[in-house]
Amino acid sequence: MLDDKVVLVTGGTGSFGQKFVEIVLQRYHPRKLIVFSRDELKQFEMHQKFPDGEYPCMRYFIGDVRDRDRLYRAFDDVDVVVHAAAMKQVPACEYNPVEAIKTNILGAANVIDAAIDRGVQKVVALSTDKAANPVNLYGATKLCSDKLFVAGNSYSGQHVTRFSVVRYGNVVGSRGSVVPVFTRARETGVLPITDTRMTRFWITLEQGVNFVLESLERMHGGEVFVPKIPSIRIIDLARAIAPECQIKVVGIRAGEKLHEVMVPEADAWHAVEYDDYFMVLPVTESGGIQNYARQTGGRPCPDGFCYGSDTNPQWLSVEELRSMVGLAEVEAID
């Protein structure tokens, strides 16, 4: 799929971007693989990890998605863009709301314009479960971003560019993961838990990258792809990491939910279920959803359906979590 293509990943020095580059280099032979980010130190470190002699396709662009002109330069001759750049720390977004809007919303608009005008063929934008029924600014900005990318297909008109969105849950091994928080707290003998009832969707970095690559191949434009992934209970995660520690309930923080949602009830009427993922179709396609589902081997989601972390039929046990954390712990700590 990506052989002899020019591929660019925004936010390419982040947790997702680094794993994406690693997997793409293992499986494909892109003509160029461009890392676009504003962090020169991390770009330098990636350059050491993927040296020119071994990976001649690698390129590095210093830039910010807020900078429209720089995006136009970076997107020149690019075939595929994976948009992973974002402000995603909930407290940082709450404290710096205008900055979050500039990066997550206006930055998304810049990516759309640059992709269309430079003739990029496919763009996949990374989203989050926080964007479904958002209660914090991060989720609200990502919901706006999702809407922009879906609408970008109409904006593109007769141009070749097509846009889709991938939405998934908490990533074990990413920066900001609760895993390193619990790991550090283990030394004190007390683990802070917001609420013993709290649940979250759970996915590894590699699973996230794989799903993005699968969605790139499936996409026609306008879809929001949601993987079927397991849920965890935060209390189980705490027990998996530090079974010997005392649990201290500290209460839900501002901007947090007790449970997360990836396909809200309001979207179920234009969503299709497949064996291992959901697809939320653009509203413009909703009139033919029955036919679309039948032609593609899916089934329309029933009225009132909601894909939430608390009602998910898939759950990870303490033992499964312990196994995953054992593999991810080193990655998860900055």
Please report whether residue 151 resides in a domain. Answer: yes
Residue 149 phi, psi dihedral angles, 5° rounding: -70, -40
Separation between Cα atoms, residue 272 and residue 294, nearest integer Å: 10
Q: How far from each other are the two terminal CA atoms of the chain, in whole angstroms?
A: 32
Please report whether residue 299 resides in a domain. Answer: no
Tokens read off for 72: 């136009």
Separation between Cα atoms, residue 325 and residue 322, nearest integer Å: 5
The domain total for the chain is 1
Among the listed ranges 56-65, 185-194, 195-204, 210-219, which one has the minimum average pLDDT value?
Answer: 185-194
Task: For residues 229-257, give the mean pLDDT.
Answer: 88
Q: What percent of the chain has a predicted confidence (pLDDT) above 70?
A: 95
Mean pLDDT for all residues in the chain: 91
Task: For residues 2-16, give the mean pLDDT.
Answer: 96
pLDDT digits (tens, 9 = 90+) for 141-184: 999 999 999 999 999 988 999 999 999 988 876 665 677 778 78
pLDDT of res. 329: 43
pLDDT of res. 213: 98
Secondary structure (3-state) at 162: strand
pLDDT of res. 255: 81
Please report whether residue 49 resides in a domain. Answer: yes
Separation between Cα atoms, residue 208 and residue 230, nearest integer Å: 13
pLDDT digits (tens, 9 = 90+) for 71-84: 999 999 999 999 99
pLDDT of res. 327: 44
pLDDT of res. 285: 56
Please report whether residue 89 resides in a domain. Answer: yes
Please report whether residue 277 resides in a domain. Answer: no
Task: For residues 285-297, give the mean pLDDT.
Answer: 78
User: Strand pairing of 80-83 and 122-128?
Assistant: parallel
Is the pLDDT at 332 greater than 60, yes or no?
Answer: no
Is the pLDDT at 334 greater than 50, yes or no?
Answer: no
Higher pLDDT, 247 or 99: 99
At 22, the pLDDT band (50, 70, 90 cuts) reads very high
Is the pLDDT at 26 greater than 60, yes or no?
Answer: yes
Task: For residues 287-316, give the mean pLDDT.
Answer: 90
Which value, in Å, is the radius of gyration of the alpha carbons in the chain?
Answer: 20
pLDDT of res. 63: 97
**1 CB-near residues (< 8 Å, 6+ apart):** 28, 213, 216, 217
Are 81 and 111 within 8 A, CB to CB? yes
**183 CB-near residues (< 8 Å, 6+ apart):** 241, 242, 329, 332, 333
Catalytic residues: 130
Please report whether residue 291 resides in a domain. Answer: no
109, HSE (Cβ side, Cα atoms, 13 Å): 8
Question: Residue 94 sits in which domain range?
Answer: 6-264+306-332
At 220, the pLDDT band (50, 70, 90 cuts) reads very high
Please report whether residue 276 resides in a domain. Answer: no
Tokens read off for 171: 């990533």
Calculate the alpha carbon distances from 294 to 266, 277, 297, 305 in Å: 22, 16, 5, 19
pLDDT of res. 35: 97
pLDDT digits (tens, 9 = 90+) for 228-240: 999 999 999 888 8
Please report whether residue 229 resides in a domain. Answer: yes
Calculate the alpha carbon distances from 255 to 93, 195, 319 in Å: 10, 14, 30
Are 84 and 20 within 8 A, CB to CB? yes
List the CATH number of the domain containing 112.
3.40.50.720
pLDDT of res. 34: 97
